[in-house]
């Protein structure tokens, strides 16, 4: 299904879908569970817009490319251009909204690439590798340092995180990203995953939520 940014009430957001800028190992407990060192500076990678699919209505995963891991994350929709070290106020002003999202990863492939010191693109940018729910306007979030995110699969809570556990909090993270490359209206930031990642399987029933703000049911086809 083709993807279009929208709010939870179904209103379309008229920014074109841009790139998806991701941060790796932004929660210490998750870095630990994959035996990765905690980075000394933010570890960024980019998923192209072509890999984004909507959460609602179900989504499919590659069947023959090894383990496909879910990573539940807080997605931030950028609504104004940002570049060259914006101030915290400029970043806050540029944020349009928040949604829960899944950063899907071909974990076997990523392990193979990591072992060789190669880029992760193939493991992170396949069609369908970013699953994004509708957004809730920023005005509904009083404190960006206290946004919970939770993923339940087949009735069992697998990930239960909060932005208060991030090594790089949302605003400084986006300041850093915009200092590395320009962000544009319609870009999405995936802010890293808390502990509890694991494989997804066809037929899994998911509940992905920013508790208190939005909740979505979906399934893996």
Q: Which stretch binds Zn ion (CB under 5 A): 44-52, 57-65, 97-105, 117-125?
A: 97-105
Furthest-apart CA atoms within the chain: distance in Å: 45
- The nearest distance, CB 191 to Zn ion, in angstroms, is 9
- Of 71, 125, 149, 213, the residue at the interface with Zn ion (CB under 5 A) is 71
Q: Which stretch binds Zn ion (CB under 5 A): 7-15, 27-35, 63-71, 91-99?
A: 63-71
Burial code (b: 16+ CB inside 10 Å, e: under 16) for 188-210 equals: bbbbbbbbbbeebeeeeebbbbb
Q: Which stretch binds Zn ion (CB under 5 A): 2-10, 137-145, 190-198, 213-221?
A: 190-198
For 127, the 3-state DSSP assignment is coil
**30/196 Cα distance (integer angstroms):** 7
DSSP state of 135: B
- The nearest distance, CB 105 to Zn ion, in angstroms, is 7
List the one residue out of 213, 206, 169 whose CA is nearest residue 71: 206
- Of 54, 95, 103, 220, the residue at the interface with Zn ion (CB under 5 A) is 103
By beta-carbon proximity to Zn ion, the closer residue of 103 and 209 is 103
Which residues bind to Zn ion, rule: CB under 5 A?
A: 71, 103, 193
């Amino acid at each position: 299904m083709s993807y279009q940014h929208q709010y939870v009430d179904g209103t379309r957001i008229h920014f074109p879908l841009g790139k998806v800028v991701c941060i790796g190992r932004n929660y210490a407990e998750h870095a630990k569970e994959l035996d990765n060192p905690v980075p000394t500076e933010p570890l960024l990678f980019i998923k192209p817009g072509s890999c984004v699919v909507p959460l609602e209505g179900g989504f499919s995963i590659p069947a023959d490319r090894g383990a496909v891991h879910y990573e539940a994350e807080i997605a931030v929709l950028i609504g104004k251009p940002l570049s060259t070290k914006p101030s915290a106020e400029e970043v806050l002003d540029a944020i349009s909204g928040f949604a829960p999202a899944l950063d899907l990863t071909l974990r076997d492939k990523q392990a193979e690439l990591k072992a060789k010191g190669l880029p992760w693109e193939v493991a992170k940018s396949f069609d369908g590798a970013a699953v994004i729910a509708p957004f809730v306007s920023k005005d509904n979030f009083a404190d960006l340092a206290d946004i919970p995110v939770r993923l339940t699969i087949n009735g069992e809570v697998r990930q239960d995180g909060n932005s208060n556990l991030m090594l790089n909090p949302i605003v400084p993270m986006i300041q850093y990203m915009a200092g590395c490359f320009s962000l544009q209206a319609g870009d999405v930031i995936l802010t890293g995953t808390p502990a509890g990642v694991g494989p997804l399987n066809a037929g899994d029933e998911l509940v992905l939520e920013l508790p208190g703000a939005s909740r979505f049911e979906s399934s893996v086809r």
